Amino acid sequence: MEASYTAFTVKCSVQKKSSSVSRNFYHFNIPLSSSFKPILGSLPQIPLQIDVPKTLTSFTAKILDAFVDSVFEFIDHPLLPSQSNFAPVEQLEEAMLMTDIEGDVPHDFPEGVYVRNGPNPLFGGLKTAKSIFGRSSHVWVEGEGMLHALYFKKASDGNWTVIYKNRYVETETYKLEKQRNKPSFLPAIGGDSLAILSAYLLNWLRFGKVNKYISNTNVFEHSGKFYSIAENHIPQEIDIITLKTLRNWDINGAGDRPFISHPKKAPGTGELIIMGVSPTKPFATLGIISDDGKKLIHKVDIKLNRCSLCHEIGITQRFNVIMDFPLTLDLNRLMRGGPLIEYNKKGYARIGVMPRYGDANSIQWFEVKPNCTFHIINSFEDAHEVVVWGCRALGSVVPRVDPSLNPFEAFSRCYEWRLNLQSGEVNERDLGGTKVLNMDFPTINANFIGIKNRYGYTQVVDPEATYSAGVPKYGGLAKLYFEKACMDLSTNNKQHEEPIKVEYHMFEKNVFCTGASFVLKSDGVEEDDGWIITFIHNEDTDISQAHIIDTRKFSGDAVAKITIPLRVPYGFHGAFMPVSLEA
């Protein structure tokens, strides 16, 4: 059998049974409102949805390029040894056959594609631009999106073929810089306010966009098609087999603003619930896309008073759940010399419950304790309450990890909000008690999104490694048993105080995971009949693998460890797409 494969053909029969839409992180794009019209996107990114002025001649463009080349100096971010696996890798010319597999891919593992998105900056790494205006810098969540995929094909004799491939997501700005063969967009998120403002203006004058389109955060499926996404732009449709970028998904012209990275399929209808956030009014809009992906059938301004950097939306069978928390993007603050992105731990925080096809006037708002929550584990209805489970922190890792905070403040823990739609009261609590470790990047059995579930899975933060690197690292996985604390809640309020059971699957020292996703067994019956699949990297050996872990023997060793013959950098969200493959 040849050691490399260049293609698969696919019967794109997405199995609704496990249409796993995974959940990870943030990006932004900024437009120049009258003068700056920002649009939020890949957490520290900001593109602008305005065409380059028609009066801008090629001669003027050359003058602007010459000005940038002479005034601005691009400097690579230096990488600490603890940051080595955040460095980019080259795109493969051909797919690769995986031959080093310890253990066995389970016989009832489904055919399909495990794909993980993540930043892979062009031209060597993230940049700082230094000039007479000061410095502006990329932040750690930036970098062009690269998809890393493992293809699982089962032969008639039961043997598995596993193929690895990676590929850049080719947004318009990726193609532009690739064609120019040099860094061209000035960093426009972190740094001195004057330098950021000059970066916005010069990027807009030269390219018609104030920041790059990153598409590096998540991958999701809708109506049999697959998309790469980050918050600073509309999604890009991709060919799940070749990983080729096909087109921007503008919902037949109706999609005029970015999506958050975690749209959700509504239980029962299959409609896709989306949100788009902007640093100019309207700060947030909510939309509903038809189950066939062809129409935007509902769109409303939810009339927020600020640009909350919302990364995810929750859904139940009847409601949309909106998080309005005090991590904000504020152009006026930037103009006054303050940071573009800031977390205000004393600012107000609230959760809104909105009927599926409601508007701003129909939202019931619940004031909650100030916090930063990027990821919702799940949300569902329980009698007169809407229950929201999320990964809640008292600080924010964006735009950077704050070394002055202790782990309890800096990193997220599993948390519950119970919102009583009749009384307007809120009950909130830490689900795990004081002994549970910090965790984030949740995943669940996708068949239970929006309805009550018993199990969840997260990546476990390694605080020491995170503080050393200055960016989050995850040294293990956790399985959450919600039923221990949540059974019969309607009749026994005291159980609200009980911590839930948590089981751990921890890696060896200096081994970290990324992109963990739940995979339902092909014949699975119970909610937790399945596996967690994740990429891991051993920083001592510099070896990357994919691990498949039995969720019913969670603390045991992985049932299969697939060694990747090249390094897979840390990234964000992963998803398993159950599709039928033909070699």
Annotated binding site for Fe cation: 262, 311, 375, 573
Rounded to 5 degrees, what are φ and ψ at 23? -115, 145
Angle subtended by helix axes 193-207 and 58-71, to nearest 10 = 150
Name residues whose C-beta falls within 8 Å of residue 58's C-beta, 6 or more positions apart in sequence.
Answer: none
Q: How far is CA 165 from the centre of its chain?
A: 20
Query: What distance in Å separates the CA atoms of residue 201 and residue 195, rounded to the nearest whole number?
Result: 10
Return the residue matching tokens 């959940």: 23
The tokens for 158 are: 């039961």
Specify the 3-state DSSP secondary structure of 448. helix
Alpha helices in 1-49 (DSSP H): none
Distance CA 262, CA 338 (A): 29
* Amino acid letter, 116: R
Which residue type sits at 494? K
Residue 180 φ then ψ, to 5°: -75, -20
The H or E element that residue 11 is part of is: strand 9-11
Residue at token pair 């604390």: 485
Query: Is-cis flag, bond preceding 282, omega within 30?
Result: yes
The whole-angstrom separation of Cα 187 and Cα 209 is: 12
Coil, strand or helix at 175: helix
Q: Using an 8 Å Cβ cutoff, are 25 and 9 in contact?
A: no
Q: Exposed, middle or buried: residue 246 (CB in 10 Å: 0-12, 13-18, 19+)?
A: middle
Place of tokens 């691990």: 547
Nearest to 572, CA basis, from 464, 463, 479, 459: 459
300, 284 in Cβ contact below 8 A?
A: no
Three-class secondary structure of residue 163 per DSSP: strand
Tokens of 345: 């731990």
Phi, psi of 327 (to 5 degrees): -95, 110
Task: Give the CA distances from residue 77 to residues 142, 143, 215, in Å, rounded to whole numbers and listed in that order.
Answer: 12, 12, 21
Kindly state the helix (H) or strand (E) to which residue 160 belongs, with its residue range.
Answer: strand 160-168
Residue ranges of E strands in 194-267: 218-222, 225-229, 236-238, 245-248, 264-265
Q: Give the sign of the dihedral formed by CA 387, CA 308, CA 457, CA 18.
A: positive
Residues annotated within a binding site: 262, 311, 375, 573
Pairing mode, if any, of strands 372-382 and 364-368?
unpaired
Judged by phi (left if over 0) then psi (alpha if -120 to 50, else beta), residue 107 lies in alpha
What would the DSSP string read from start to end of 503-531?
EEEEPPTTEEEEEEEEEE-TT--STT-EE
Cα separations in angstroms, 405 against 144, 190, 400, 456: 30, 20, 12, 27
